[in-house]
Structure 1
Amino acid sequence: MATEKQKKTCKNGHTFYKSSDCPTCPTCEKLKEPASGFLASLSNPARNALLHHGIDTIHKLSEFTEKEILKIHGIGKASLPAFRKSLEEQGLTFKKSEG
C-alpha cells in the first residue's frame, strides 16, 4: 500500500511533498550544493559526511589516509576514484598509511 504524500513547508517557505516524517526540504538541499570544487562532484551522503567531520577543502582531505576516510559513515569505496581525481588535479594525494 502506497503511503500518501503530505504537503509540507520548510522554514524558508519552500513547499514540498513527502510520504515520510523526514523534514528535509529538497529545495534547501539543492541550494546547499556547491557549484564547484571537489565537494560538487560527490553524492549528498558523501559530501555531508565529509562536512560533518570538518573536511571542507581538498587540502583537508589530503591529511587523511584512504583507510581513515573509508571509516567515515556515509563514505564508500565508490567515492575513492572521485577523491583521488580531485586530489591529483591539485597535485595532492591521500596521506600515506604508516606501516
Structure 2
Amino acid sequence: MNEFDSLKGIAKPARRALAGAGYERLEQLTKVTEAELLRLHGMGPRAIEQIRQALAEKGLSFASSS
C-alpha cells in the first residue's frame, strides 16, 4: 500500500497512474511539476488539486515549472 491509497477523494485511475510511474509518497512529488503529472494516463485536474492540498498540509508543494 502506498501513501496515495490513504488520501481521500483521489480516484483509482489517478492512484494507478501514480503507482505505475513509481510514486509511493507525497514527498516524491516535490520533484515533479503539475504539468508532468497531468501527462500520466488517468491523472486529471481534480486529482492534481487534491494532491496539491495534501502536499500543502505537509508544508510541501510541486516543483516549479521554471
Fold shared per TM-score above 0.5: yes
Q: Structure 1 unaligned segments of length 5 or more: list them.
A: 1-31
**TM-score using structure 1 length:** 0.59
What is the number of residues matched between the two proteins?
A: 64
4+ residue segments displaced more than 6 Å: none
Normalized per residue, which structure has more strand? 1
Task: Please tell me the root mean square deviation across aligned C-alpha atoms, in Å.
Answer: 1.6
Give me the identity figure in percent.
34
Q: Structure 2 unaligned segments of length 5 or more: list them.
A: none
Q: Could you say which structure has the larger radius of gyration?
A: 1
Larger relative CO (CA 8 A, sep 6+): 1 or 2?
A: 2
Normalized per residue, which structure has more helix? 2
Structure-to-structure mapping, 1:34-73, within 5 angstroms = 37-40=3-6, 41=8, 42-73=10-41
**TM-score using structure 2 length:** 0.85
